[in-house]
Amino acid sequence: MPTILVKIPHGSFPGETRAVLVRKINEAAAAAEQMPDEPRARAMCWVLIEEADPGAWTCGGADVTARLLPCTVLAYLPAGVLDDASRALFVAGIHTAFEEALPADDRRRLATSVVMHEVPDGAWGVGGKVWHLPDFARSAGYAHLQHLVDAAQAN
């Protein structure tokens, strides 16, 4: 159930490469979060891509986008969904998504940065209501957290 904000230099992933990037990011998130391959659960993964204007992205104070393709991902996830192994899977999967979506004619060196913001339980609102980890587990279908759904229904 992540909300994933992607920042890329303007025009970096045009046309079909943009669709591939979004699909691959969704697949990486679903694998790390152990979401089932069903549309209702996968709809819980939101991806927003923002493009930085030319000259707006600097590294060390210089615009290096002619030779470097910097891509930043800010992922907001419910705390308790990922452990250390799944965080590593998430970061690797996101990097691979960019590699696989990169236009064939783009020769720049790919540089990804993934920041995971784990939102504390009870600090995320959905549809006007505060959600807790069992709510996310029920809606997103997290395989490893279904025991929380069962416990919440028993109470």
The arithmetic mean of pLDDT across residues 116-121, rounded, is 97
The arithmetic mean of pLDDT across residues 90-96, rounded, is 98
**Model pLDDT, residue 126:** 94
**Model pLDDT, residue 50:** 97
**Model pLDDT, residue 149:** 85
Q: What is the largest CA-CA distance in the chain?
A: 58
The pair of structure tokens assigned to 149 is 């759904």
The pair of structure tokens assigned to 118 is 């784990």
Task: Look over the chain and give the mean of its residue pLDDT values, rounded to a whole number.
Answer: 94
DSSP string, 36-57: -SSHHHHTT-EEEEEEEPTT--
pLDDT tens digits for 29-71?
999 999 999 998 889 999 999 999 988 988 889 998 989 999 9
pLDDT of 153 > 90? The answer is no
**Model pLDDT, residue 155:** 76
Single out the residue of 49, 61, 60, 62 nearest to residue 9, CA to CA. Answer: 49
Give dist(CA 16, CA 31) in Å, integer: 23
**Model pLDDT, residue 151:** 85
**Model pLDDT, residue 1:** 77
The arithmetic mean of pLDDT across residues 106-125, rounded, is 96
pLDDT tens digits for 17-39?
999 999 999 999 999 999 999 99
Residue 89 and residue 45 in contact, taking contact as beta carbons nearer than 8 Å? no
